[in-house]
Structures are given as C-alpha cells and as structure tokens.
Structure 1
Amino acid sequence: MNISVVIPLLNEQESLPELYNWIKKVMTTHNYSYEIWFIDDGSTDNSWDIIHNLSQQDTAVKGIRFLRNYGKSQALHAGFARTNGDVVITMDADLQDSPDEIPELYNMITQQGFDLVSGWKKKRYDSVIGKNLPSKLFNWAARKTSGVVLHDFNCGLKAYNSKVVKNVEVSGEMHRYIPVLAKNAGFANIGEKVVQHQARKYGESKFGMERFINGFLDLITIWFLSKFGKRPMHLFGALGVLMFIIGFISAGFIGFLKLWKLYHQEPTILVTDNPWFYIALATMIIGTQLFLAGFLGEIILRTKNNEERYKIEQEV
C-alpha cells in the first residue's frame, strides 16, 4: 500500500464528507493505493455516524472511536499503530490542510529520502493576536530548545516514512514534537515544505490559551526527556553532588571558624546560632532528595509498562 492518511478529529461532522471526497479525488488521480483512518477523539456530534457510513461505502475508509476525549496525541498513537502504508500522512479534519499537498509530500519521502516532512503554513488565515503571534513565539522556543530547525511545529499536515511512526512513541500532548521525537529516535533526515493554509470553513477552532501554555510545558518535558530520559541519575545525581559539596564546604567553614575562635580564645556561639549551619543542613537534605529522585527515576524507567492510554469504544 502506498499511503495511509491518519486524521484525528473532534466534532467535525460538517467537514468530513468534503474532506473524504477531496482525498479520494487526489488518490484516484495519482493512482495511489491508500487507506484513510479517521480517529474520532470523543466527538459529541454526528462525526462517528458519518465515519461509519463512509466506511460502509468505501473499504479504504477505516475508523476508530474513543470512549471519550483523550487528546490528539493518543489519537495519532492509535492511528499509527494500525497503518499499513509505506508513507503515512497526517492532517487535521477542519479542511485547513489541503489534500492537494499529498503527492509532493509523498514524493519527498519516497524519492528524496526524507524520514519526515513537516508542513509550514507560511501564510496563515488565523487571528494574528489569538494564534499567529503565540505560534511564532512557540516555534522559536521549540527551535532553540530542540535543535530541530522547523518553522511550524504545530502544523498537522506531515508526511512520514512508515518506519518513523512505528518507532516513535507519541504520548501525553507530544504530537507537536513528533519531529523532535523522531530525531531523538535516530530519524534525522527531517524536511519542511511550504503548504497552503485555508481559512476554517466549518465549526470553531480548538486552539486556546490553555493549549499554548501546555505547549511550552511540554517543550520543557521534551527537552528533559531528550537529554536525560534514559539516564535521569545523570541530572539528579549531578545536582545532588553539587548540593553535598556546598553542604560540606559550609560545615567545614563552621568547624574552621569554631577552631579559630578557640585558638585565639575568642568568645564562641552555639553552632545552631550560626546561619552557615542551616545552609549546610538544607543543602545536604536537598542533595539526598535529589539522589533519591535519580534512583526512583532509574527504577521507574526500568520497570514501566507500556499500557494503553486510551479506551476504544468502536472500530470499523
């Protein structure tokens, strides 16, 4: 099979028939063998009924319905696990991503040898203050933190070599950082393509300030995981050693000061009245806690199980 299209969605009943027909037209024109996976992330409208009807009409259409809303990352994870295509295309269901981009994205993977190609919505039709400026700030921070040079991490239109989606673990809200996860997994040939962005035709945007804030928190998480995810003791142990050194130096200073005053027969104060005593005590306690955090991280890393993070209600 040439192409698998994975489309996570939430309450997009108006756009689904139009999107399906558009994708089918592109695939038929280029003689691709294909499948379309619609992942219904807990929609409360008639999205699932439409997906079910489409699957009855066309065997290339397949669908998964979550029991409730689990998030885009979980939807992509479920879709990636079931794809059979040599190239996997992801796009949003709101018609803001153009299926006409699929052939060129496919060629960039199969002919130019990219592991992953990310879309870049260079000209956007979103609100400048509500989404454009926060997105630019977010993308700048992501580039600086991850070392992956992309202009638009948030673009849902991406193409993958099938090996990438089968070897990259998408969890939490990490769908924004799949290129970073792919790079960390060893898929370093990452490209970018300017794609057409269209104004939303139906429904309302799911973007909000909560997603913007969560994006930056996830960025910190992905930075930590990329550097210390396999060796948490390297971070916490190093910080613990630093705290212990500060504590020993502080304790040594207290002892030296005490001996100095005794030698010169000067009046001394109780050790507990010296502020350096509390500095030494606090840093040693913090150092111990950091070491324990490192050990716990190592234990969790070696004993974790990869249980499903979502529940599927129906599949067609």
Structure 2
Amino acid sequence: MQAVNISGFRPITTSVPRSAPYPSSARWRLPMKSSSDYGSCDFSCRQPLRISSSFSAAAAYTSADGETTLIQSSVGISDLLIVGPGVLGRIIADLWKKDYPGSQVAGQTLTTDHHDDLRQLGIHPISSGSNVEKFPNVIFCAPPSRSADYIADIRSAAACWSGEGSFLFTSSSAIYDCGENRPCDEDSPAIPLGRSRRTDVLLNAEGAVLEAGGCVLRLAGLYKFDRGAHTYWLSKGSDENRPDHLVNLIHYEDAASLSVAILKKNLRSRIFMGCDNHPLSRQEIMDYVNKSRKFDKTFDKFTGTDGPLGKKLDNSKTREEIGWEPKYKSFPFFLGVNTD
C-alpha cells in the first residue's frame, strides 16, 4: 500500500461538505500540525513536559464539576489517556498496564457516574474540564452517540496529545463502501460524504484525527459472550432481516490488543482495519450460538428476503505491518464450536 502525501488537506468542520475531505486510500501521511491548531483541550491541558518515565509526587486536580482526582503531577513517557474508557477502553487499560508496569492510565468521562469503578481498575478518572498534563499516548474510544459535537471532542483529544507517542481513534468498518458481500480490505474506498449522517460523522472524525497526525483503527463488529449482535438477536428469538447478510466480527480482547499494538508503533496519519478475517452470515452466527448450548435461549430464524448485503473484510495488510494476530480467530472458535 502506498502512502499518499496530501499537502493541501483542508480542515475538517462539523458541517458536511459534498466531497470527501481525504482520499479513501487506507494508509497515508498528512502534514503535521501542532496540537494548538486543534483548539483547547477539555482538560485545559498544559504544554508537554520533557521528563523521564519516573513520576514525581502525586497531585490533586479538580475538574469542572468540582470532583478532585489524585493523579501524578508529572506525566511519564509511557502514560496513556483513554477518552471514553468503556468496555473496550478498560481492556486496553489493563493490557497497557501489563506491558508498561508503573505507567499511569487516565480515563476521561463525560460524567462521574463510573469513576469509582475506574479507580478500582487502576484507571485515574478525569472529567471533561479537568486540568492535567498532556499525554504522550492518547486513544479515543468514545462513540458519537453521546456527544453533542463529536468533531470538537476529537480536536480536544488531539490537543491533549503531546505528539511524542501515539494518538489513535477507534472508528468503524462501516465506512468502507463495499456491499453485496464482496471482498474488502484496507485499500477499499470509503463511503462518500453526504450519503449517510452516521458515516459522515465518522469520516469527519477520522479526518480530524489524521490531520492531527493520529491514526485510525476501523473495527468490525465488537463482541464478547454477553455483548454483541448475537445477544441482540438472541433476545428477540427471531429477526426480520435477511439471513445471508455477511457480518464481520472482532472480539473485544482482540480489538484491545490490536489497539495497543498500533499505539506502540508510534505511527502517524495511518488507517488500519480490525477484524478476525472470518466473516459469517447472520444465520451462521446464530446457528453457532444454538450449537454451542452456552446460552439460556435459542434463536429461531431470520425472516427477511431482501435488503442490503454486507462485506467480506480482510485485514491481512494490517496484521503483517503491525505484527498482530487475534486470540479468537473466529466467532465459532470463541464459542468452542466445531465448524465441520
């Protein structure tokens, strides 16, 4: 795959232009800008400190809502800020701390609802508006569904990156403009801006990340035993969608390990894909669920006869460059089901 140099890359705005802000080529480099070009950080981030990986004494930081958090007063070279420490973000935090013992992991949240849970996991909770140092490593895992201005949130995260390590945004493979169950890899084109509000938000978010020098990881459908498309369909018993639509999956643990592997590479302005390379039809997924006998319910059938088909993702190029393989090579493998 060739890297594309775009010297005239224009800023991404919250409005939806009629032409794509960047080519759909999967990996390319963009002119670097300083974090000050991306607005002020929600945390009132300070200028990066040039320090060793050891920490000085802890200090108390007070967020905009008055909550006080104890956090190291100096940010180390292996420290990580997770914007949106939900299910995926918490697994990333655990893997990061195992790979970098003694490192500090902070998690930015919109509310304080889960701050006690984060502390128990060894993640320093930070509310928007808190005053903390810039971080050398930042990953943005927050979905757009709870954001009033997703692009502004992305720019705030970019402003909290010191530029020394990595900045990664977890996006979605829904951006790829592939259908009819056709093959799709990292170099496949993206859906043009203006076709869908959902993909417009993600495309503009990706553009802001790439322009800031960060990387993008387009993830397939996330799942674990009690979370994912299979649990939704299982709760319904039957579904009106067509059964032959291909679905691409990646286990939460594998999405986290791939995210960490990309962060460690210290790359700039690149797009990667995260999937298990074993796409399954909707019906196949639920057949494996029933065959596993690990769930309290059983699924009946899909009743649809028309509608759009899916895509067949292949992230072999990402695997080769990053040096990564999934723990769970397929959904039936995760369930312990024989595929013969």
Normalized against structure 1, the TM-score is what?
Answer: 0.27
Structure showing greater Rg: 1
Q: Which has the higher helix share?
A: 1
Q: Which has the higher strand share?
A: 2
